[in-house]
């Protein structure tokens, strides 16, 4: 998929509006313990605490950091709304990603850090591996999913109203009535 001679990057596989994005790194010698500690403290920041659902980067569906091969390797795996390659420079100039990068990737090989954006870009592209297979179980962007959740919450509130059954009898509300039974 890559077009090496043109210098133009290609996004990974995508399903609907969402593209997969997976990075694989080598942990620097002796850096596994501080890396684990950094990931633990990341997990304890607002947005990353289990149940927070408000990561600083609002266009990814989820993110995981996996230490493997006896803590010698690190994988960062996520799903991004839009083609991630179009946003490469943005990642390095918008605050939250930067902070994340500096805290985590300082412990892996090849990361010399900012402000050399071109080097960071090369570092990321180097670590990126396109998935061999990718599937999703729901369509839609994070924004759409959040909207659906808000709409469903509102719908449940309506159903809890004493006159809900009566109100939903109106022919225009038929599609909602179909969803009201369970």
Partner 1 sequence: MGASLELDDIQAGALYERPSPYVGVYLLLCIRDRADGRELVRRLHRIVDPASTIGTADETSLTVAFTYHGLEALGVPQTSLDSFAPEFRQGMAARAEILGDTGASGPDQWEEPLGSTDVHVAIAVLSSDEARLHTVAEKARAAHAELPGIELIWRQDCYQLATGRTSFGFKDGIGQPAVEGSGRASTNPRERPLKAGEIILGYPDETGELPPMPAPEVLGRNGTYVVFRKLHTRVAAYRSYLRARSASRAEEDVLGAKIVGRWQSGAPLALAPDHDDPELGSDPHRNNDFAFGDDPRGFKCPVGAHARRANPRDALDQEGSVDVRLHRMIRRGTSYGPMLPEGVTEDDGIDRGIIFVFAGAHLRRQFEFVKTQWLNDGIFIGAPRESDPLVGPHDDSSSFTIPQRPIRRRLQDLPPFVVTRGGEYCFAPSLSALRWLAELDT
CA distance 92 to 99: 9
Q: Cβ closer to partner 1: 82 or 110?
A: 82
Selected range binding partner 1 among 27-35, 36-44, 139-147, 174-182, rule: CB under 8 A:
139-147
CA distance 35 to 105: 8
- Looking up tokens 């009201």 gives 180
Query: 60-68 and 18-26: which strand pairing?
Result: unpaired
Q: Cβ closer to partner 1: 41 or 94?
A: 94
Query: Residue 62 interacts with partner 1 (CB under 8 A)?
Result: no
Shortest approach of partner 1 to residue 182 CB, angstroms?
A: 27
Q: Cβ closer to partner 1: 89 or 179?
A: 89
Selected range binding partner 1 among 33-41, 61-69, 113-121, 123-131, rule: CB under 8 A:
113-121
Phi-psi region of 47 (alpha: psi -120 to 50; beta: other; left: phi over 0): left
CA distance 139 to 63: 18
Stretch (H or E) spanning 19? strand 18-26
Query: Residue 102 interacts with partner 1 (CB under 8 A)?
Result: no
Residues in contact with partner 1 by the rule CB under 8 A: 6-8, 16-17, 55-60, 80-83, 86-87, 89-97, 115-118, 140-144, 147
């Amino acid at each position: 998929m890559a077009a090496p001679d043109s210098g133009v990057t290609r996004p990974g596989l995508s399903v609907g509006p969402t593209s997969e994005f997976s990075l694989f790194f080598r942990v620097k010698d002796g850096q596994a313990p501080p890396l684990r500690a950094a990931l633990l403290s990341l997990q304890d920041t607002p947005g990353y605490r289990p149940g927070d659902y408000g990561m600083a980067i609002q266009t990814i569906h989820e993110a995981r950091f996996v230490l493997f091969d006896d803590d010698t390797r690190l994988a960062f795996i996520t799903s991004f709304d839009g083609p991630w390659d179009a946003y490469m420079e943005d990642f390095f100039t918008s605050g939250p990603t930067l902070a994340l990068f500096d805290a985590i990737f300082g412990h892996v090989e090849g990361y010399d850090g900012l402000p050399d954006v071109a080097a960071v870009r090369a570092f990321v592209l180097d670590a990126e591996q396109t998935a061999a297979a990718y599937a999703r179980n729901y369509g839609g962007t994070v924004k759409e999913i959040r909207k659906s959740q808000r709409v469903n919450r509102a719908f449940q509130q309506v159903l809890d109203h004493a006159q809900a059954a009566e109100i939903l009898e109106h022919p225009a509300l038929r599609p909602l009535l179909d969803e009201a039974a369970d």
